[in-house]
A and B are shown apart, each in its own frame.
Chain A
Amino acid sequence: MALAEAVLSTLILIATFWLLIARQVRAAINGYAAQSILLGGLAIALFAASHLPHLLALGILTIVIKGAVIPAVIKIQVRGTSYRRRETAYYVGFPTALLIGAGLSLIGLVAASRLPFHTDLLSEPVLGLAIAVILVGLFTTMARRDAVLQLAGLLAAENGLLLVGLVVSPGLGLLIEFALFLDVLIGVVVMAFLIARMHETIASTDTSELSRLRG
């Protein structure tokens, strides 16, 4: 495995942990943007190694859409409020969250070492890191009470899925990936709109306040 892939996949996991313990909305969005840019860089590094053209397209699309457009959409929605720099609420405290994140990563790494996937492009440790990214991202969604951070966790898990896709089958069609990108972009636009609406209605994006159903 080449140096770039090892370093980039490691940094992707670290960015996911950063997302897990980020206190401010702004920091979480930046963490997601960094994770996406690293993922795009990884795809481009894979292109340099394998010369599969769609990996280049995938890398550029990841950097542009996930690294720039999606963070910008979320940032525009929370702009103008003091909220983006405020510390957000959470269900699980940060040291505990880190410990649970470590446990989840352990599960991911062990699971990957037992899975019978083999590709020429990326090796088994990267698969473990990718599964760890998915688990930690999903855990972020569960551990935070703030809608924006939940969204960021979900998006981070989606990045992990993309990384698994890269490991398991480098030849995934560009069309499928393109559809995935559009889905994520539309999902983010809808979610960001809902978050802005929520902020407007209850002056907070704390999901624990959404406990009553009103018709």
Chain B
Amino acid sequence: MLADALGQCVAVATVLLLAPLLKGVIDNLKAKVQSRRGPSILQPYFDLRKLLRKERSASREASWVFRSAPYVAFAAPIAFAMLIPVLTAAPLSWAFMADMVGSGFVIGVGGFFTNLAAMDTASPYGGLGASRSRLVSSLAEPTLILIFFAVGFISGGTVPFVANNILYTTSALISPSHALIAVAFFMVVVAEAGRIPIDNPSTSQELSMIESSRLFEYSGPDQALMEWGGWMKLFVLLVVWLNVLIVPVGLATQVTVPAFAIAIASLVAKMVCAALLIVGVESALAKIRILRVPEYLGGTFLLSFLAVVLYSLGR
């Protein structure tokens, strides 16, 4: 029991500490692709240190929602990390707190509070970003639900650990419906985490922003928590994609130091591959117009729909 709790802590700490590194690696690789030298891969850590030292300032009109949102946005991905197989193939003690739908809810709470806080100070850009991010999320919802259905259908369970075990051990891993789910989920992750082609994370033009315009009113430690939460969101969603859907190899089967070391090393290797994929997508594509977002997410819905149909026909 104690070892389980310790393992859980290590998993959460991995998410906490590696998420800024993922952001740094993506930024650096992207700059390399554009023939720039690029920032150090440790730059996000420096940013966090700088922001955490600064003073926080908030509008006099801001309510408790504005002040509490950074903590919720920071805590949601951490809670989510307990529910998914970050390092271990076997469920740890807190993994049964929620199933996939529940963990989708947990990650959604963070976004919900960020949106409320963005509208709380009545900053025009915040409201704009909040309404746009609601558009993206509400359109991504049907796809996510269908993916949950399909995974639940194939694995007979909706707890991420169970799905991970079943998909890994049965022949369901290698079927067209599985490949469709993997592609659809990756497209949804890209949309939810605010990457190109839905949103440009490095833009400085307010009118085209979705995610970053919601953080305009924040400063100092609040901003650090918000940004860190955003990076962790991308990280944990990619962990689900990698460890549940695509390459569930290298996960620890028991709580021992060598097993966890292998698990962390394999996670880093997988994350580097995922970062390369994201950099490739972001360098090859342009951000699409906001009015075309429904087409993109409609496409993901179509893929997950076909996955469900294919699986139910193939039985």
Contact = CB atoms under 8 A, between A and B. Distances in A.
Interface of A: 1-3, 6-7, 9-11, 13-14, 17, 21, 94-95, 98-99, 101-102, 105-106, 109-110, 112-113, 124-126, 128-129, 132
Contact of A17 (B174, B175, B294, B299): B299
A98 B298 CA distance: 7
A124 B179 contact: no
A110 B313 contact: yes
B260 interface: no
Nearest to B173: A3
Contacts of B309: 105-106, 109-110
B314 A125 contact: yes
Interface string B156-184: 00000000000000000111111110010
**Looking at chain A's contact residues, is the secondary structure mostly helix, strand, loop, or mixed?**
helix
B177 A125 contact: yes
A126 B306 CA distance: 13
Contact of B305 (A1, A14, A102): A102
Given A94-B292, A102-B302, A110-B309, 19 more contacts: A6-B178, A7-B179, A9-B176, A10-B183, A11-B183, A13-B306, A94-B295, A98-B295, A98-B298, A98-B299, A99-B298, A101-B302, A106-B306, A109-B310, A110-B313, A112-B313, A125-B176, A126-B176, A129-B310
A102 to B, nearest CB: 5
A10 B302 contact: no
A137 to B, nearest CB: 16
**Looking at chain B's contact residues, is the secondary structure mostly helix, strand, loop, or mixed?**
helix
Contacts of B305: 102
A110 B183 CA distance: 22
Contacts of A128: 310, 313
Residue in B177, B299, B309 whose Cβ sees the most chain A Cβ within 10 Å:
B299
Interface residues of B, number: 22
A125 B310 contact: yes
B241 to A, nearest CB: 15
A105 B306 contact: yes
Contact of B303 (A2, A14, A99): A14
A124 B314 contact: yes
Contacts of A11: 179, 183
A129 B176 contact: yes
B295 A21 contact: yes
A2 B174 contact: yes
Interface in B179-205: 179-180, 183
Interface string B289-315: 000101100110011011001100110
Given A1-B175, A113-B313, A10 B180 contact: yes
A109 B174 contact: no
Contacts of A105: 302, 306, 309
Nearest to B302: A102
A100 B15 CA distance: 41
